[in-house]
Structure 1
Amino acid sequence: MIKITSISKRLCCALVIFSGFSLFAQDNINEVHVHTPSRPACVLPPGEFTGLISVPRAPETAARMEAGGSPCATFVVSYNGFTPEAQAAFQYAVDIWANSIESPVPINVNAQFTSLGAGVLGSAGAATFLTITSGAPGSQPNTFYPAALWEKLEGEDRSMFGGSNDINANFSSDTNWYFGTDANPPAGQFDFVSVVLHELGHGLGFAGFANVEDSFPDDIGDIRFNGAASIYDAFIENGAGDAILSFPDPSAALAAQLVGNDLYCNGPTAIAQLNQGGTLPRTFAPTSWQPGSSYSHWNNSTFPNGDVNSLMTSSIGPGQANHNPGFITLGFFQDMGWSICAGALSVEELTVENVSISPNPFVDSIDITLKEGNVSDYSVSLIDINGRFVNTVKQDNNNGTLTLSNLNNLDTALYFVKITNEITGNSITKKVVKN
């Protein structure tokens, strides 16, 4: 049977009114709850011009796109009000996501080009959130998943629960857009590809249910619908390590956390991608609740303009482009349940299998060979057993080999070689012996 329910709340970071239904199996044992927002979850305002900034596609993603093979996921887009130029740029952004995440089920997107009013470049969110009852590997019970991720985990389309659209996305028809795909917009234009990537990221799952309501004498925070939070919410904690879901809901105490400028993502893969000794990626929690921005973005100062992980921060300025979802965002997506295309995460780049060092033992020099096609800037450090840095050099990997030389004066002993990707921050350490 179908039980009809209704609720009225705000989702994530913008005003959203929810209505929902729960579909029960005939034996009433397995119960899938479905909540459908009537408005997009998150909005992206324009930022100020801070200079010409360009973050291109990740090399692995670019290589897959240019090879023309099958992507890791299939997106089916319904375009409304798009010019051919805008549609081509949108499709380029779609292809970046399609070569970053994996899904066996097509991801359906409804894209609308329309007037959004002053101060909004785009808005988007999952068309529907559903709970998983099948026990799909890695899934959490009593937790809402965005439609596209639910379908990926369940391996089937959700049409039996009503509707076929997974993501609703809107883009301003009043903005001076740059529709090029080279990540080099001029100073007076906004990069359309970057905004599409950002909004699709929200639709794929970078959005939580938290909200702060104005109330007297204290503001009230809430984070659940019918007793369940989103999978995004399950990975947020404060600086003291207290899970955001551990606070009473609704409550003033929860509201204080949501505007405390002290929230972080504790997803283990996201943390590994940050690669700063266990430091957690910081989320956007300004001291004044900002509908459309607060909670469901990365912190702007932690990931400033030009940082490879800055795509999912809360604004973008003219002349600024980022065509890379970012290793930390993809790591967070993997924590939430997405599978990531091979090579898209930096933890796969520097591994024991992908890095070889010779000779070992060494006398005068060390050659570090990285896997073919791994082109980036690296720092290579030689560290003694007391943790002292004996030698550090920065090199590019255009020839496939990094070298430490002039080591003949070192004492015979055990040393460590640390190789760090200067762009991603990912590193690996290996033991070597000096003869």
Structure 2
Amino acid sequence: MSARLSKCLAALAVSAAMAPAAHALNFVFTNTGSTPMTAQQMAALQAAGNYWSSKLSDPVTIYLGVSFDSLGSGVLGQASSLLYVKNYADVRNLLSADKTTAADTMAVASLQAGNALSFWSTQGNGSARFDNDGSANNAGLLVSAANLKALGVKVNTTADAPDAHLSFSKDLAFSYSRVGGTPGGQHDFITVAEHEIGHALGFTSGVDSIDYCLDHASGCGLSGAANQFEESEWFTTLDLFRYSAPGKLDLQVGGSPYFSINGGASAIESFSTGDAHGNGFQASHFGTSHLTLMRPTISAGVSYDAMPADLLAMDAIGWDVATAVPEPASMAMLLAGLGVIGLRAQRRTKG
């Protein structure tokens, strides 16, 4: 059996914090569920946080609320983040000031000049449009609280008002320890928790909101007109690196987008393209061709951590990666060698 990893965007309140580990990047996990987490659950959650702390060196504290809930069919976990609206030009300047590696330098150099973005997008009637009119969706971005902290912005979150909330299924079988491997009928909780923390850190795409609102215009407070997405901010820091061809920043639902830090000249990893109108998986994920932590599914009986593409994405959106990441020129060959390890028994389940 395989199950789906999912995310959504919102902010929830929390209580009863767990102490952070002693790393430059600290996580404070807060139990928000109706019943206390077990010692095994807490230890596995802290192991996932410690993993990210070993890979990212930003000296910030991230507050995460945690609960175990009944989620959708086959859904192992979800993440909801506190989001801030920031001017695109300000985000570009923050990324520039934060760059520390050759990959950072390349990513910043690929960013568009000016105060507003130009990109291909999906309109309210489902049509495609090259959008360069400088409206709110061009001039502003949605940036998660955790991502802002990585960029050096002071964000007043606390254990009672966290950066994000993580929900895990209380109905599916998890293995909470990697000692002795993961039993075939269970999912490795540490892998799932690392994935959901990745969303909280900023691995999200506004394409998911467009995908959803195409079918729920009134629920999204939209008119249903072709240009209904013009007057609000939709896209995220990660969307700055979503291309479908050299020079083509592509924020459409569907299509064949990929992660690139050199303006689309090199495709590092494919992106998923939308739950409703894309490939059937939320756009806030890599694609399913290779084994990455931020792919949308995980098979039972396997465990793994972030791959080079996952770390490079974190590097590009402003996190300081503490360990060396292969340079972009070698990335495609490296990922090709990963194949589909652990995915043969995978069966897609809708959530």
Scaled to the shorter chain, the TM-score interval is: 0.5 to 0.7
The aligned counterpart of 1:274 is none
Matches within 5 A, 1:292-331: 293-300=281-288, 302-303=289-290, 307=291, 310-322=292-304, 324-331=305-312
CA distance in structure 2 between the partners assigned to 1:215 and 1:178 by the alignment: 37
- TM superposition shift of 1:318: 1.1
- TM superposition shift of 1:228: 5.7
Contact 1:14 1:293 in 2 (8 A): no
Contact 1:235 1:265 in 2 (8 A): yes
Matches within 5 A, 1:25-424: 37-38=10-11, 71-80=23-32, 81-131=36-86, 133=90, 135-138=93-96, 142-159=140-157, 164-182=161-179, 184-210=181-207, 211-212=210-211, 213-214=214-215, 226-227=232-233, 229-239=235-245, 241-245=247-251, 257-260=252-255, 262-268=256-262, 278-285=266-273, 288-289=276-277, 293-300=281-288, 302-303=289-290, 307=291, 310-322=292-304, 324-343=305-324, 345-347=325-327
Q: Which runs of 4+ in 1 moved over 6 A?
A: 218-225, 420-425
CA distance in structure 1 between the partners assigned to 2:231 and 2:147 by the alignment: 18
Contact 2:11 2:81 in 1 (8 A): no
Higher relative contact order (CA 8 A, sep 6+): 2
Contact 2:142 2:237 in 1 (8 A): yes
Higher helix share: 2
State the SS of the aligned residue for 2:303. Answer: strand
- TM superposition shift of 1:325: 1.3
Contact 1:14 1:291 in 2 (8 A): no
CA distance in structure 2 between the partners assigned to 1:421 and 1:293 by the alignment: 20
CA distance in structure 1 between the partners assigned to 2:281 and 2:335 by the alignment: 31
The aligned counterpart of 1:383 is none
In structure 1, give the amino acid aligned to 2:254: V
In structure 2, give the amino acid aligned to 1:234: L
- TM superposition shift of 1:111: 0.9
CA distance in structure 1 between the partners assigned to 2:231 and 2:37 by the alignment: 35
> Can you list the C-alpha shifts for 1:151-172, whole angstroms capped at 9, x where unaligned?
2213523349xx7411210011
Residues 190 and 91 of structure 1, relative CA distance in 2, 3 Å threshold: same
- TM superposition shift of 1:289: 2.5
Contact 1:183 1:191 in 2 (8 A): no
> Can you list the C-alpha shifts for 1:355-382, whole angstroms capped at 9, x where unaligned?
xxxxxxxxxxxxxxxxxxxxxxxxxxxx
State the SS of the aligned residue for 1:198. Answer: helix
Structure label with greater radius of gyration = 1
Contact 1:221 1:258 in 2 (8 A): no
- TM superposition shift of 1:424: 7.7
Contact 2:164 2:200 in 1 (8 A): yes
In structure 2, give the amino acid aligned to 1:103: D
> Can you list the C-alpha shifts for 1:248-302, whole angstroms capped at 9, x where unaligned?
xxxxxxxxx4122x11112249x9xxxxx933321112695269932111110x2
CA distance in structure 2 between the partners assigned to 1:89 and 1:237 by the alignment: 35
What TM-score comes out, normalization by structure 1 length? 0.53
The aligned counterpart of 2:129 is none
CA distance in structure 1 between the partners assigned to 2:8 and 2:293 by the alignment: 22
- TM superposition shift of 1:423: 6.9
> Can you list the C-alpha shifts for 1:385-428, whole angstroms capped at 9, x where unaligned?
xxxxxxxxxxxxxxxxxxxxxxxxxxxxxxxxxxx899789xxx
CA RMSD of superposed structures (Å): 4.0
Unaligned runs of 5+ in 2: 1-5, 13-20, 98-110, 116-139, 218-223, 340-351
CA distance in structure 2 between the partners assigned to 1:202 and 1:336 by the alignment: 12
CA distance in structure 2 between the partners assigned to 1:205 and 1:347 by the alignment: 22
CA distance in structure 2 between the partners assigned to 1:329 and 1:120 by the alignment: 21
Higher strand share: 1
Q: Number of residue pairs matched?
A: 268
State the SS of the aligned residue for 2:166. Answer: strand
> Can you list the C-alpha shifts for 1:97-120, whole angstroms capped at 9, x where unaligned?
111112222111111122224321
Residues 330 and 143 of structure 1, relative CA distance in 2, 3 Å threshold: same
Residues 206 and 222 of structure 1, relative CA distance in 2, 3 Å threshold: farther
Residues 146 and 287 of structure 1, relative CA distance in 2, 3 Å threshold: closer
State the SS of the aligned residue for 2:298. Answer: coil
| Percentage identity across paired residues of the two chains | 22
Contact 1:209 1:223 in 2 (8 A): no
CA distance in structure 2 between the partners assigned to 1:109 and 1:190 by the alignment: 22
